[in-house]
Structure formats: structure tokens, C-alpha cells
Amino acid sequence: MQRELIHTAHRRRRLHGWAAAGLAVLLFTVSVLPAHAASVLHEPEAAVPAQSLTETAVESASEAPPEATTEYVVIELAEEELPPLPFNFPQVGPLIRRGFQDDVDRRTTAFIPRNLDRLTPIEMPEGEERWIRIDLSEQLLIAYEGTTPVRGFVISSGRAATPTVTGTFRIRMKVRSQTMSGGSPALGTYYNLPNVQWVQYFYADYGIHGTYWHNNFGQPMSHGCVNMTNADAKWLFDWAGPKWDGKTVWFPARPDNPGTLVIVHP
């Protein structure tokens, strides 16, 4: 009986020792974490380029002491701080602006083209004031003024079974908004999409238009058309010819108001 009491006393002392050690670690963690969190949360509110966020995280990790535990700090980014893109690749220039992805009319993939060396080489047109280049292999659309790229967008072209047509075309018709439908119910390919906005047809039923039913830009997703966000499609609609009169639903190109050149290539 005496041995059992001695053994119980020793075990209680060990438990008290462990509890004290655990409390000391907890107090140390609490004393360290607020200082670290404050240093993160009180960073200047200046815009931070998206590409620098990973580098900053790596540098912060390398500066942490070896014995430091992982700490999770919630950081709320302002819209102008350019949070991560809805796509990982490609990005060939800095973003122009970024809308939250739950706002279908504000989201954008627009960037300022700086280096387009990895695009598929093509013969550049001559004498065109404005023209559009669509690189299907890179899933990019670039708007040019003369030889200068002025705006770039990440797009979704046709899937393998319904590829986007390639060649040299001109925008032939503009439609502010329409319902698009097609496919086969029997084959499970039928679709009916109301309120497709900022449509620009460049060959037969192939067009460039806004998209609200997916956000997977950078990957082929369509039945042959070129998908853009609504905001990106509107920018291109306003920028490219023919110049819309602001009221005609189906607005065709004319000799005195021609459509912008469109080059679609692999």
C-alpha cells in the first residue's frame, strides 16, 4: 500500500511538471505571436505586385528561427493589392486591375503586354490601325495598335472536339446581348445560355464574347467561340470596329465602318 502511494505521488509530480512545461510553452507562444502578427498586419497599404507575394513568403520563412512553430495569420488584401489570379499560367505582364471573382461583371484577366516572345511567331499585318491576335496554344488574346500590343487577355477557346477556327478574318457583326444554344440533347452536348454579352462574330458562328458560366480562363472550354470575362469582352467590344451605335441589336460591319482584323493561330 505504501509503495502504491509513493508511486502515485511520483506520477502526480510528473503530471504537474508536464502541465507547467506546457503552460510555459503556451505563454511563450502567446507572447511571441502577437508581435509577429502585428508586424504582418501593419505593413504599409501600398500595392504589392502579385508576383512578389511568393518571394515575400519565402523570405519571411527563411528568417524564422529554426525552433519557431508554424504560425497562421489572416491577411486581408485590398483590391488594389492584386490578389492571386484565377489562373496560374500564362501571365506575360502586370495586371491592369482585378475584380473579385464573385462579381461576374467585374472580374478580369487583363494585363499590359510587355514580353510576348513565347507566343507562336506569325507574320505581322501591315497598315492596320487596330487588330486582334488570338494565340490558341497560349490561350491569349492580344489587342494591337499598329505594331504595339496595348492590352492582353487570357481566354478560353474551343475544346478538342469543337476547336476554334484558325485563319485571318474581320469582325463582321456585333451583338450587345443574345441567347446562345446548340449541341445535341441525345449526345448530352446541348446548351442554352441566355444573356451572352458583348458578342463579336468574326467568321460564321464563331465569335468573341463574354462568359459568366465558368472562370477557367487559360484552358479550352468552349464550343468554338472565344470566351472572355464580361468586363474583358466589353473592353474589346468598345475598342474594336465596327464602332457600335449604342442601340442596334445586330450591328453589322460596313465599308464606311469596317470590322477589326482578327488573326487566330495555333
236 close to 208: Cβ distance less than 8 angstroms: yes
Which among 245, 263, 266 has a CA at the least distance from the CA of 254? Answer: 245
Average pLDDT estimate for 169-175: 98
Q: What is the pLDDT of residues 1-56, one digit of tens each?
A: 444 434 444 444 444 444 444 444 333 333 433 333 333 333 334 443 444 433 44
Q: What is the largest CA-CA distance in the chain?
A: 110
How much is the pTM?
0.63
40 close to 75: Cβ distance less than 8 angstroms: yes
Instruction: Output the CA–CA distances (angstroms, integers) from residue 117 to 113, 122, 150, 159, 264, in the order listed.
Output: 11, 11, 15, 25, 17
**Is 60 exceeded by the pLDDT of residue 191?**
yes
Domain with CATH 2.40.440.10 in the chain: 130-265
Range 130-265: architecture per CATH = Beta Barrel (2.40)
Secondary structure of 58-71 in HEC code, one letter for each residue: HHHHHHCCCCCCCC
Output DSSP code: residue 93. S
Per-residue model confidence (pLDDT) at position 104? 76
55 close to 184: Cβ distance less than 8 angstroms: no
Position 240: which residue type?
A
Most confident range, picked from 15-29, 69-83, 237-251? 237-251
Distance, in Å, from the CA atom of 98 to the CA atom of 96, rounded to the nearest integer, reads 7
Output DSSP code: residue 137. T
Distance, in Å, from the CA atom of 172 to the CA atom of 200, rounded to the nearest integer, reads 7
